[in-house]
Every structure is written in C-alpha cells, then in structure tokens.
Chain A
C-alpha cells in the first residue's frame, strides 16, 4: 500500500479528445510527478509539481498539463489526444526535499486512444 490512488483505472478516448486523470497522494507528500509508460517500456517522466507549481518537465509537448491542489491531489490533462498517447499513466508522490527521498507510485490509469 503506497497511499497513492489514481482514477480512473481504465478509459478509452477518441483521437482529438481531451482527458483528465486524477491522483490522490499521502498527506504530507508535497511533491507529485507524472510518468507515461508505453507498452514494453520503462516509465518516462512527464512533469513534476512542488507546492502547486510545476518545477520540472520531461520531453512532452504543452498539450500535457497538470495541476496540484492543496489537499495533496493532482491532475494530468492531455489535450488533442493522439494514438501514441495510449499508455499507462503513473502518478508518483514523495515528501519534498532531498533527492534520495523515496518516490511512491500509484497503480496507474490505462489510457487507450482509438
């Protein structure tokens, strides 16, 4: 049990649509990040939020955006969905501060774009 919960677990969208994925972290975990894991690959970093502000981003276009709320919940929004966006999206959280702090992952949201 990691204390990180994600919803929905599975969803199917049509190319061009928009999607919002949600995450709830443990109390006190003020740093949340999102990863994309395509089939057969390792997770790829999308972006990170610390105290409700984005403070790091991977090689993902601006149509991937996020929000972090004071109650330790967060969202990942993807606009203009493309077929290649089909993947497992993982939310991860930790206590901010040192780079060695353990990062805990949720079970993920499976997105299929058709």
Chain B
C-alpha cells in the first residue's frame, strides 16, 4: 500500500529565509508525487508534481521540490519565504492506477508559519 509521511507538524521560518517542508513516501511501483497548499477554510491548491525526469521540480509561487529516489523523499523548498506562504502544506503520492489504488494518498500535513 502507498503511504506518505510528513514528519513535522509545524515549521517556523523567518521571512526572507529559505524554507523546507519534508515528505517521505512508500509505494510499490513508480511514484507520482504532488504538493498541495491549503489556506484557512479553503480547498487544496496544486503547487507542483513529479512524474519523471529532472529530480528538481519547479512549481507555483516560487516553490520547488527535490525528488530523491534513494531516500524516498520529496521535500518542498523555497529560497526566500514570504509571510503570505503561511498555510497548511500536504504531500501526496499516487502509484500506477490499479483497481482500488486510483487515488491520491495524503500525508497528515505540515503547518508553515512565516514570521515577519
């Protein structure tokens, strides 16, 4: 079964500093990895995804993520954090579409707090 772990419930960073939100995954086949952001009382917004190819993926709002197959990780990064980046971030994984596994499996989420 596929699974995702986000080991940090909350990440605090000062505005202007780099940020990292961690994610590790477990799948039986090739992983398809996604990051979503959720602002208070809102739905999920797509940030970026890894399908294949370059291990560094660039996404919306200046975010990027690095895929590391040997460490089964897909950490979200941004070189310079903004206060407006404060939100709840979810990592998700999907492997090959087989019956019963045609869905995203989400981590428990990491709350990012960017201090001015």
Residues in A lying within 8 Å of B, measured CB to CB: 2, 4, 6, 33, 35, 41-45, 48, 55-58, 90, 92, 99-100, 102-108, 110
Interface of B is mostly: loop
Given A100-B32, A105-B44, check contact A42 B90 (CB 8 Å): yes
B64 contacts the other chain (CB 8 A): no
Given A42-B106, A48-B102, check contact A103 B43 (CB 8 Å): no
B34 touches A103 (CB 8 A): yes
Given A2-B43, A43-B90, A105-B44, check contact A100 B51 (CB 8 Å): yes
A99 to B96, CA, bound (A): 6
Nearest Cβ distance between residue B97 and chain A, in whole angstroms? Answer: 5
Apart from A92-B44, A100-B49, what 15 extra A-B contacts exist at CB < 8 Å?
Answer: A2-B45, A2-B46, A4-B43, A42-B90, A42-B109, A45-B103, A45-B104, A45-B105, A56-B100, A56-B102, A57-B100, A99-B94, A100-B32, A102-B46, A105-B43
- Please, which residue of chain A has its CB at the minimum distance from the CB of B107? A42
Complex interface: chain A residues within 8 A of B46 (CB):
2, 102-105
Nearest Cβ distance between residue A37 and chain B, in whole angstroms? Answer: 9
Residues in B lying within 8 Å of A, measured CB to CB: 32, 34, 36, 41-46, 49, 51-52, 90, 94-97, 99-109
Complex interface: chain A residues within 8 A of B105 (CB):
45
What are 17 inter-chain pairs, A to B, with CB distance below 8 A? A2-B43, A6-B43, A43-B44, A43-B104, A44-B106, A45-B105, A55-B102, A56-B100, A57-B100, A90-B43, A100-B52, A104-B46, A105-B36, A105-B43, A105-B45, A108-B42, A108-B43
